[in-house]
């Protein structure tokens, strides 16, 4: 986090018409959330004993955290592969990660049946089942959320240091030097934790065994999840950068995004290659051509990955903002579908069981995302996160 990148808070009021609409939607879904807590999961969701996990786990948590891998992917590029030129993009990426993971944590509280007992995970290490991949995910994600907010905390401190005397100023003056001192180990932890839990999110479904379709169930699930979350992380960074520079009239980062697109493209293409070779080597290629819903979803998913990946490496697309935006959307879509497929479409608990998310279930997901958007807007308009408007391009 350096001063020379000139991060600046976005000017303008927080209560725009867009913000009000999102706040209204969130308000409505809060009622639905209250209903879910008082009347149980059955009242609000289409979950069943056949499909104990649904939209909230597959999308809000498993996909949500992968979409929150921008901070991980960018830090990997900047601090490990030493590509300093991307440095201005790290802070916005870290914010989306912190918000993405925090949102996933909110979703977990909605999804588990006994959220009051979640506190027992951090406080009861003597109960930890070290064989449980889910425990690994839970502990890692909890720690990572703390690490992410600490990593982004200098942005808050910078604002408070310049603010009026009081609690926040004192807080900033005390902790900013400490955070600066521990930034290297903190960043290293911020790289280690997603490496661990993003791969474990893939490993989770290994336990599904024969209930998980052969096109998705592979010993490589942990590696494939890791690789795809890095690809999705870059795509989200590009998506967020293009959208925020448009919305907030900030200088576009088209050139930087073009070279980032190359990295993303190769990650996605390597992922697709490994996935296909693995399917062939495991002798499951015939499953692709069976007339099943699974093979259809598989083909859509792979097409999105491959087309998105190719667009990202082709100069014609990756050098224009539109091409970058479209390819980023494709990769985000493909990665999302890959996760929803593994957890839901590929999961077959036997006859008599069906699952399609209920309306309240989907609305609550919308509400949770809305909450994330509200938090994003408030934070970028209050704290120096986004790259400042350069003098040459007058801020409007």
Partner 1 sequence: MPVDRRKLIKGLAVAGAATAAAGVANAKIRPRKTVPTDAVGMLYDATRCIGCKTCVVACKQANDMPPDSASTGGLYDAPIDLNSKTKNIIKQYQDGEKQSYMKAQCMHCVDPSCVNACMMGSLAKRENGIVTWHGERCTGCRYCGIACPYGVPKYEFEKSFPRVIKCEMCSHRIAKGQIPACCEVCPRQAVIYGKYSGLVADAKKRLADFPDRYFPKVFGLEDGGGTQVLYLSKAGISFENLGLPDLGSDPVPELQQTIQHGIYQGFVAPVALFAVFGAVMWRNRRAQEKAGEVKP
Residue 78 · residue 84 · CB < 8 Å: yes
What is the distance of C-alpha 322 from the center of its chain? 22
Nearer to partner 1, 152 or 203 (CB): 203
Nearer to partner 1, 206 or 321 (CB): 206
Nearer to partner 1, 113 or 163 (CB): 113
3-class SS at 386?
A: strand
Could you say which of 13, 164, 209, 391 contacts partner 1 (CB under 8 A)? 209
Residues 6 or more apart from 205 whose CB is under 8 A from it? Answer: 212, 216, 217, 221, 342, 343, 346, 347
Cβ at position 234, least distance to partner 1 in Å: 17
The reply on whether position 155 binds partner 1 by CB under 8 A is no
The site map against partner 1 for 183-202 (x = CB under 8 A) is: -xx-xxx-xx--xx--xx--
Structure tokens at 68: 């929150």
Structure tokens at 320: 């224009």
Cβ at position 378, least distance to partner 1 in Å: 27
Could you say which of 49, 291, 316, 394 contacts partner 1 (CB under 8 A)? 49
Cβ at position 45, least distance to partner 1 in Å: 8
Q: List beta partners, residue 387.
A: 7
Nearer to partner 1, 88 or 323 (CB): 88
- Strand-pair category, 386-387 with 7-8: antiparallel
- Output Rg (C-alpha) for the chain, integer angstroms: 21
Residue ranges in 18-37 that form contacts with partner 1 under rule CB under 8 A: 37
The site map against partner 1 for 123-152 (x = CB under 8 A) is: -x--xxx-xxxxxx-x--------------
Cα–Cα distance for residue pair 292/223, rounded to 1 Å: 26
Cβ at position 157, least distance to partner 1 in Å: 16
Cα–Cα distance for residue pair 115/112, rounded to 1 Å: 6
Determine the size of the site formed for partner 1 (CB under 8 A).
71
The reply on whether position 273 binds partner 1 by CB under 8 A is no
């Amino acid at each position: 986090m350096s001063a020379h990148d000139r991060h600046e808070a976005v000017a303008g009021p927080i209560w725009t018409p867009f913000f009000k609409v999102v706040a209204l939607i969130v308000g409505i879904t809060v009622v639905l959330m209250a209903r879910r807590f008082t009347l149980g999961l059955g009242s609000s969701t289409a979950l069943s004993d056949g499909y104990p996990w649904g939209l909230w786990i597959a999308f809000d948590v498993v996909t949500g955290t992968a979409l929150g891998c921008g901070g991980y992917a960018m830090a990997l590029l900047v601090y490990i592969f030493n590509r300093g030129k991307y440095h201005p993009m790290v802070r916005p990426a870290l914010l989306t990660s912190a918000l993405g993971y925090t949102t996933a944590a909110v979703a977990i509280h909605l999804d588990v049946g006994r959220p009051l007992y979640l506190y027992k995970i951090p406080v009861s290490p003597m109960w930890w089942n070290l064989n449980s991949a889910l425990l690994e995910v839970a502990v890692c994600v909890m720690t990572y959320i703390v690490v992410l907010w600490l990593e982004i905390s200098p942005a808050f401190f910078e604002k408070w240091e310049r603010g009026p005397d009081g609690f926040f100023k004192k807080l900033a003056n005390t902790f900013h030097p400490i955070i600066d001192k521990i930034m290297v180990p903190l960043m290293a932890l911020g790289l280690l934790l997603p490496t661990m839990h993003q791969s474990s999110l893939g490993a989770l479904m290994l336990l599904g065994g024969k209930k998980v379709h052969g096109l998705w169930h592979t010993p490589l699930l942990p590696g494939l999840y890791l690789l795809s979350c890095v690809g999705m992380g870059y795509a989200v960074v590009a998506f967020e950068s293009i959208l925020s520079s448009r919305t907030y009239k900030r200088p576009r980062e088209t050139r930087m995004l073009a070279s980032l697109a190359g990295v993303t493209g190769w990650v996605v293409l390597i992922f697709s290659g490994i996935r296909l070779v693995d399917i062939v080597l495991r002798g499951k290629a015939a499953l692709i051509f069976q007339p099943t819903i699974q093979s259809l979803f598989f083909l859509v998913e792979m097409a999105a990955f491959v087309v998105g990946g190719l667009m990202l490496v082709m100069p014609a697309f990756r050098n224009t903002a539109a091409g970058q935006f479209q390819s980023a959307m494709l990769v985000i879509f493909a990665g999302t579908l890959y996760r929803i497929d593994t957890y839901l479409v590929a999961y077959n608990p036997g006859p008599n069981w069906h699952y399609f998310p209920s309306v309240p279930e989907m609305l609550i997901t919308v509400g949770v995302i809305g909450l994330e958007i509200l938090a994003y807007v408030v934070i970028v308009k209050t704290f120096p996160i986004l790259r400042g408007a350069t003098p040459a391009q007058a801020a409007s």
